[in-house]
Amino acid sequence: MPRPTLNQLAAGLGLCALLLSGARAQGVCSSDGQPQPVRLLERFLSADCLACWGQAPAPGAAGPTLALDWIVPGRQGDEAPLSAAASRDALARLHTLRRPAPRTQLAVSTPVAGRGGATVRVAHGVALGGYIGASIEARRPSSDRQPATAVLLLVETIAAGSDGTPIERNLVRNMLQAPWNGDSLLQNEKQMNWLERRPLSIPDGANPQRLRVVGWLQDQRGRLLAVAQSACRPDLP
């Protein structure tokens, strides 16, 4: 893929700033004040398996859990019943987890290590022109310079009983992965800060009113150091 020009980067960052500013105009959509999940539950559904979407899975582990749903491209290609929501990002995530693509469905539960005082904050603006501006900010102690990767997801939260699903689903619609090698432009003696702002494209078929963002920081071994999810609330007085 060709690298973007300076003009394209400037335009993208300008759009992102505009979209994020919309959050201040219509409400605050960030992870501020949201509970920290202790476990990430990822459900991978083959695009071939329509019945999987309509099934209620067994209850997961106890404790605050963030559940995500990925639609994996199926053998039927564009003819698969769930192909409209399938994403190659699901295959990339399975590769990170060292898991094969499922014939029907696969659930992977990962604890959040919370190691070393790492934190993550995510935020997003309003949908505009097929994009939504989003950001992820990670913080780590200055002593922790191990390579890590920040992951930012655009998810569509679908209520139970809607669109044929008996349970609430956080359907992953887009994914951004950004490496962090320990260097930072924002640092002091105690901590390093890392901030990424991007306009994320909204796939066809996604409902912009149901979109939000999820983000995490993972180390080289795939362990989750911190996880955050956004929620929208009215502007504070």
> Which tens digit of pLDDT belongs to each residue from 119-132?
999 999 999 999 99
Q: Give the pLDDT confidence score for residue 229 in this predicted structure.
A: 96
Q: Give the pLDDT confidence score for residue 30 in this predicted structure.
A: 96
Q: Give the pLDDT confidence score for residue 117 in this predicted structure.
A: 83
Q: Give the pLDDT confidence score for residue 35 in this predicted structure.
A: 87
Q: Give the pLDDT confidence score for residue 137 in this predicted structure.
A: 94
Residues 140-152 have a mean pLDDT of 86
Question: Which residue spans of the chain are classified as CATH 2.60.40.10?
Answer: 1-35+112-155+173-232
Q: Give the pLDDT confidence score for residue 182 in this predicted structure.
A: 58
What percent of the chain is modeled with pLDDT above 90? 64
Q: Give the pLDDT confidence score for residue 4 in this predicted structure.
A: 41
Q: Give the pLDDT confidence score for residue 234 in this predicted structure.
A: 63
Residues 173-182 have a mean pLDDT of 87
pTM: 0.84
Q: Give the pLDDT confidence score for residue 144 in this predicted structure.
A: 76
Secondary structure of the chain in HEC code, one letter for each residue = CCCCCHHHHHHHHHHHHHHHHHHHHHCEEECCCCCCCCEEEEEEEECCCHHHHCCCCCCCCCCCEEEEEEEECCCCHHHCCCHHHCCHHHHHHHHHHCCCCCCCEEEEEEEECCHHHCEEEEEEEEEECCEEEEEEEEEEECCCCCCEEEEEEEEEEECCCCCCCCCCEEEEEEEEEEEECCCCCEECCCEEEEEEEEEEECCCCCCHHHEEEEEEEEECCCCEEEEEECEEECCCC
Q: Give the pLDDT confidence score for residue 237 in this predicted structure.
A: 42
Is residue 189 predicted with pLDDT exceeding 70? no
Better pLDDT: 237 or 191? 191
The answer to whether domain 1-35+112-155+173-232 has CATH 2.60.40.10 is yes
Mean confidence (pLDDT) of the chain: 84
Q: Which tens digit of pLDDT belongs to each residue from 62-89?
A: 668 999 999 999 999 999 999 999 999 9
Q: Which tens digit of pLDDT belongs to each residue from 10-28?
A: 444 444 544 454 444 445 7
Is residue 147 predicted with pLDDT exceeding 80? yes
